[in-house]
Amino acid sequence: MQTSSWKFRVSLEMGKIFVEGVGEVQEYVDVCDYAVGLSRMIGGPILPSERPGHALIEQWNPVGLVGIITAFNFPVAVYGWNSAIAMICGNACLWKGAPTTSLTSVAVTKIIAKVLEDNKVPGAICSLVCGGADIGTAMARDERMDLLSFTGSTKVGKQVALMVQERFGRSLLELGGNNAIIVFEDADLNLVIPSALFAAVGTAGQRCTTARRLFLHESIHDEVVAKLAQAYAQVRIGDPWDPDTLYGPLHTKEAVKMFLDAVEQAKQQGGSVVYGGKVINRPGNYVEPTIVTGLPHNAPIVHTETFAPILYVLKFKEEEEVFAWNNEVKQGLSSSIFTKDLGRIFRWLGPKGSDCGIVNVNIPTSGAEIGGAFGGEKHTGGGRESGSDSWKLYMRRSTCTINYSKDLPLAQGIKFQ
């Protein structure tokens, strides 16, 4: 597959650094490999029937047409998750990418169409439509759309869910995240610093899995903040096409304004900017990656998902309180702890631990693998994409009973004579 043009278009339109664009294209390739293997494994169980001479099976069939609406920040990979799984389940796809990354959408669609047609399959199986919110609204309301997969903000996702539910349609929602990393006093700081840096600064803070809250045990708070600020100072900022660049621009001028507004609100609510907080004086939508300390865990700005590289560093004392603080935000996408305590790890994974769809230990909040189902709870929408049994969302289920006897026994032993 010709992937070089994808990578450049991702950097050109989205602003993502080149190596992340390469990673995103690779993710699509990987999910295609995953889907091909999965296509040989999809099936329903044969269940024991309580009636003699009867077979009970579960049959899975394609839903039909899957509408896919994706966001600007992953203009290749998220469509890959959806389209690859949808196709091996027997569905056709109609994709609406973000209007600000339309060149990437066109490039991806042309490559997919060629692959399909080279294999004697109509390229229209993966069709593309470009446009704004009016096109998305039409897709959400169209009863011919058997499943609508939407990736984007919680605000818009709520509107999409209502429109789809109004016609009793099916939706798959992957919405916002206000993700936290929790660092305990026994954590390996050699893991913590690069993990927090990548999770907070990667993609210039424009991932749904970006770390926006960093909870530090009071005994290590000052040390970690100092080391993190030192690491931030070493981030290479520049042209996203330059392979040495680690941090590129925000996507739009509106994102820059949102960044500045959030920094100002953080100051007004009692926070102190210990690193960054300003616009960078160079062409493009560049802002400084930012660290804010001193805010209470329940400050309104801390509970707001700002799609920008702002990390709120918060101090805690006890495990129970910080687990509760992780869960108190409306979103429930990704979460991480850093600790060597085995008991704490399993408490974190258990019912009184993280309430997120992605629950990590000693790794950052971002960088999910395709083999695990991706998605979250609460205002993140509850959807799951890519791995595990997420294929079931792209299919409809029938429970089938076959009577191969000459009798007609009823379930539950009912007699009707």
* Of 353, 310, 313, 357, nearest in space to 332 by CA: 357
Please state, in angstroms and rounded to a whole number, the distance separating the CA atoms of residues 218 and 232: 21
Residue 103 burial class via C-beta count within 10 angstroms: exposed 0-12, middle 13-18, buried 19 and up = middle
CB 102 within 8 A of CB 172: no
CB 335 within 8 A of CB 368: no
- What the block records as the tokens of 411 is 């379930």
CB 61 within 8 A of CB 395: yes
* Strand 310-316 relative to strand 290-293, pairing: parallel
Q: What does residue 329 show for φ and ψ, rounded to 5 degrees?
A: -80, 160
* Of 99, 104, 61, 60, nearest in space to 79 by CA: 104
Please state, in angstroms and rounded to a whole number, the distance separating the CA atoms of residues 355 and 243: 37
List, in sequence order, every residue forming a beta bridge with 286; answer none if it has no partner: none
- What the block records as the tokens of 372 is 């695990």
Q: Cα 216 to chain center, whole Å?
A: 25
Q: What is the largest CA-CA distance in the chain?
A: 87
Please state, in angstroms and rounded to a whole number, the distance separating the CA atoms of residues 137 and 60: 29
> Residue ranges of the alpha helices (H) in 119-220?
133-141, 154-166, 189-201
* Strand 126-128 relative to strand 334-338, pairing: unpaired
* Strand 331-332 relative to strand 290-293, pairing: unpaired
Query: How open is the CA angle 88-92-95, to the nearest 5 degrees?
Result: 110
- Which amino acid is it at 105? S
Q: What is the three-class DSSP state of 372?
A: coil
List, in sequence order, every residue forming a beta bridge with 338; answer none if it has no partner: 183
Report, as residue numbers or ranges, the catalytic residues.
174
